[in-house]
Amino acid sequence: MDAAFVLLLGASLARYLIRHEGATHVGWVVGLFVVFGGLYLLGRFLAPAPLSGTRPDARYMAWVGAVLAVWAVLLALAPSAAWCAMPLLFTGLHTLSTRTAVSLATVLTLLVVASKLRFAQGEFDPNAVLAPPAVAAVGTAVLIHLKRQAARQRALIDDLVRTRRDLAATERRAGILAERQRLSTEIHDTLAQGLSSQQMLLQAAERVWHADPDAARGHMRDAGEIASRSLAEARRFVHDLAPADLAERTLVPALGALADRESGAELTVVFRLDGTPGPLPERVEAALLRIAQGALANVREHAGATRAALTLTCLDDQISLDVADDGRGFTPTPTTTSASASAPASAPVAARPGRGHGLPAMRVRARQLGGTLTVESEPGEGTVVSAAVPLALSTSEKGAS
């Protein structure tokens, strides 16, 4: 726009000098051309245009008024200065409000038409009356349309920015809730289970402390071993939340070690492997081990069983873990019977205050792996907890990680 103004200003001055060579007031008109051009260019630095979508300040409006006043005087002396109306028109339409810009276009057009008619020679020229309004109308309509489009785009961008900000806040809240859920299940499957086992062993040692000192000392040793394992789990928990049993071994030996560790005088736990497991993602191994730990904790605390079996079955398309016991069993409710991948992994865990967190925690772990968790039980017939994880999803997650 500035380049076009300088070009048209130079052309208008050259035309004036050619048409009015030798006139008495040529020097004044040339000086006015210089003042007009200098005022226009100086205002670009001293009175910068307002940002798109904002109102112009008083300094900018004063500059516009001064430029128009000098141009009107120049137009009265040199009709060739009418060509400079186009940059002035576009500048006003670009920066002023629609109503002010239309008023400016009207004033500029009337001044140009009046100048054409004043200096017309010979016959009446219809183009002097019709061409300036037509050009001004087309330019005004196009620029106003573009301004409105730009305003709509700014509003749309603002809406998108707000939506993105709200979405980020929602995702952040969801992430916090999911992290809290994950931490609660990790604490339940590690520290809480260890403390519960220690409490049972210490209570048993207290009961037989005088009657059977050897048995009491055995319970104390078992409680000490559980405390050591709980401490290792706590350190691992603080470090990276991975099970301590998987620090130096894979899932199969970890399940075998878990079965040996849970076996005792009142409960015998055996581990069976069906098939050959391939490499699994760490989060799949950790989740299956946590499910096994939670299921055996339920067996030890609630089932009153004498035997339990851990069975890891490796198929082509999935890997499953079954924890079966010969305990007293129970009547499953619809919420404990099954959990599928169709339910959201971040769904809240329903648990009774203080207890009942084991099965919901196992259910969440199964969902997070895209798998299922089923519970089969009958009163007096024992219980079977089965977790199945699709290998295709696990492999893709491993590759993504």
Q: Where are the alpha helices (DSSP H) in 119-212?
A: 126-187, 193-207
pLDDT band of residue 312 (cuts 50, 70, 90) is very high
Most distant CA pair in the chain, distance: 136
What is the DSSP pairing of strand 318-325 with strand 307-314? antiparallel
CA-closest candidate to residue 242, choices 190, 194, 297: 190
What is the total residue count of the chain?
401
Rounded to whole angstroms, the Cα distance separating 140 from 130 reads 15
State yes or no: pLDDT of 339 exceeds 60: no
State yes or no: pLDDT of 150 exceeds 50: yes
Rounded to whole angstroms, the Cα distance separating 314 from 362 reads 19
State yes or no: pLDDT of 242 exceeds 80: no
Residues in CB range of 271: below 8 A, 6 or more apart: 255, 256, 258, 259, 309, 310, 311, 312
Task: Specify burial of residue 385 (Cβ count, 10 A radius: 0-12, 13-18, 19+).
Answer: buried
More confident position, 274 or 399? 274
Rounded to whole angstroms, the Cα distance separating 379 from 384 reads 12
**Stretch 324-352: mean pLDDT:** 58
Q: In the CATH hierarchy, which top-level class contains the domain 265-401? A: alpha beta
Cα of 104 vs its chain's centroid, Å:
46
Q: How high is the pLDDT of residue 119?
A: 66
Q: How high is the pLDDT of residue 157?
A: 92
State yes or no: pLDDT of 241 exceeds 60: no
CA-closest candidate to residue 49, choices 7, 87, 10: 87
State yes or no: pLDDT of 388 exceeds 70: yes
Domain residue spans in the chain?
2-124, 265-401
* Overall pTM surpassing 0.85 (yes/no): no
pLDDT band of residue 285 (cuts 50, 70, 90) is confident
Please report the DSSP string for 332-379 in residue order.
Answer: --HHHHEE-TTS-TTPPPP--TTS--HHHHHHHHHHHTT-EEEEEE-T
**Stretch 386-397: mean pLDDT:** 71
pLDDT band of residue 52 (cuts 50, 70, 90) is low
Contact assessment for residue 236 and residue 247, using Cβ atoms and an 8 Å cutoff: yes
pLDDT band of residue 161 (cuts 50, 70, 90) is very high
State yes or no: pLDDT of 9 exceeds 70: yes
Residues in CB range of 184: below 8 A, 6 or more apart: 349, 357, 361
Best-predicted range by mean pLDDT (39-53, 127-141, 147-161, 229-243): 147-161
More confident position, 384 or 177? 384
State yes or no: pLDDT of 354 exceeds 50: no
List beta partners, residue 272: 311
What is the DSSP pairing of strand 307-314 with strand 338-339? unpaired
**Distance in angstroms between the alpha carbons of the first and the last residue of the chain:** 54
Task: State residue 291 phi and psi, 5-degree precision.
Answer: -60, -45
State yes or no: pLDDT of 88 exceeds 80: no
- Residues of the chain above pLDDT 90, percent: 8
Mean pLDDT rounded to a whole number for the chain: 78
